[in-house]
């Protein structure tokens, strides 16, 4: 099925800025930003980030407070702290042979950087790739990674796949099936996540959040610190 999906990708693949580089730092930034964040939201923030910090060394030299402020609006702010720590590791010691040694880098992100930046023959398996593998029962080569990302994001959808326009439909055992959502995402409105986000926004603006529980969680994640009784972004 490799040829089918690659032929489809040549005609239908998305033009995304991180697909125009082999820089491992730029690829890492994109992969961290794309975790649980929509592509459309990531693109302008990715470009702005690389304009401000074009290398791991540049990011490593930046104050963590600036990094956290720049991340605002992308959500899951701990990713900013992990990315900053990873940049410091790279700036000080270079890229490790085992990329999972970098803070915040798991097996999938390591495989993505290895494939897209370093040309290693490993297939990064995210939710989209896994879904296509399970539905088709096919094994795909690492060359198909970007094609599978796009096929899963635009055609082989989680609940109602668009089998009528799928290049793999003819040989797919799951053709025309419909699926129930595996789980519902918890509401953000009124959640503890919202309280944390609000407290962090206040701290980033130089104001004092009064939600002690949210502040304690932010301190634990390295997103804020307490200094002489005040809450502030890390110095």
Tens of pLDDT, residues 110-121: 999 999 999 999
pLDDT of 32 over the 90 cut: yes
Exactly one of 11, 31, 134, 189 is catalytic; which is it? 31
Q: What is the DSSP letter of 226?
A: E
User: What b/e string do you get for 78-95 counting C-beta neighbours within 10 Å, with b at 16 or more?
Assistant: ebbbbbbbbbbbbbeeeb
133 with 165, same domain? yes
Residue 165: domain span: 1-12+122-184
Last residue of a domain, which of 87, 116, 145?
Answer: 116
8 with 49, same domain? no
pLDDT in tens, 164-216: 999 999 989 899 888 776 666 667 777 888 898 899 999 999 899 898 999 99
The predicted model gives 87-109 an average pLDDT of 96
6 with 34, same domain? no
Query: Is 51 a catalytic site residue?
Result: no
Last residue of a domain, which of 149, 166, 184?
Answer: 184
Q: Is the dihedral of CA 27, 151, 132, 138 positive or negative?
A: negative
């Amino acid at each position: 099925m490799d040829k089918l999906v690659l032929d489809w990708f040549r005609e239908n693949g998305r033009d995304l800025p991180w697909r125009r580089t082999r820089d491992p730092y730029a690829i890492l930034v994109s992969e961290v930003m794309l975790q649980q964040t929509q592509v459309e939201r990531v693109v302008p923030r990715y470009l702005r980030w690389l304009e401000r910090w074009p290398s791991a060394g540049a990011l490593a030299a930046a104050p963590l407070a600036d990094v956290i402020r720049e991340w605002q609006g992308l959500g899951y702010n701990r990713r900013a702290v992990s990315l900053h720590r990873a940049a410091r590791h790279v700036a000080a010691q270079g890229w490790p042979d085992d990329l999972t040694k970098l803070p915040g880098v798991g097996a999938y992100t390591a495989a993505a950087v290895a494939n897209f930046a370093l040309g290693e023959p490993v297939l990064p398996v995210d939710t989209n790739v896994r879904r296509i593998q399970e539905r088709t029962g096919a094994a795909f080569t690492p060359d198909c990674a970007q094609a599978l990302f796009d096929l899963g994001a635009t055609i082989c959808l989680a609940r109602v796949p668009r089998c009528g326009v799928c290049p793999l439909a003819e040989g797919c055992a799951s053709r025309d099936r419909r699926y129930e959502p595996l789980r519902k995402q918890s509401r953000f409105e009124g959640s503890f996540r919202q309280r944390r986000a609000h407290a962090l926004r206040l701290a980033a603006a130089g104001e004092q959040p009064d939600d002690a529980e949210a502040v304690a969680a932010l301190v634990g994640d390295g997103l804020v610190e307490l200094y002489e009784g005040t809450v502030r972004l890390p110095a």
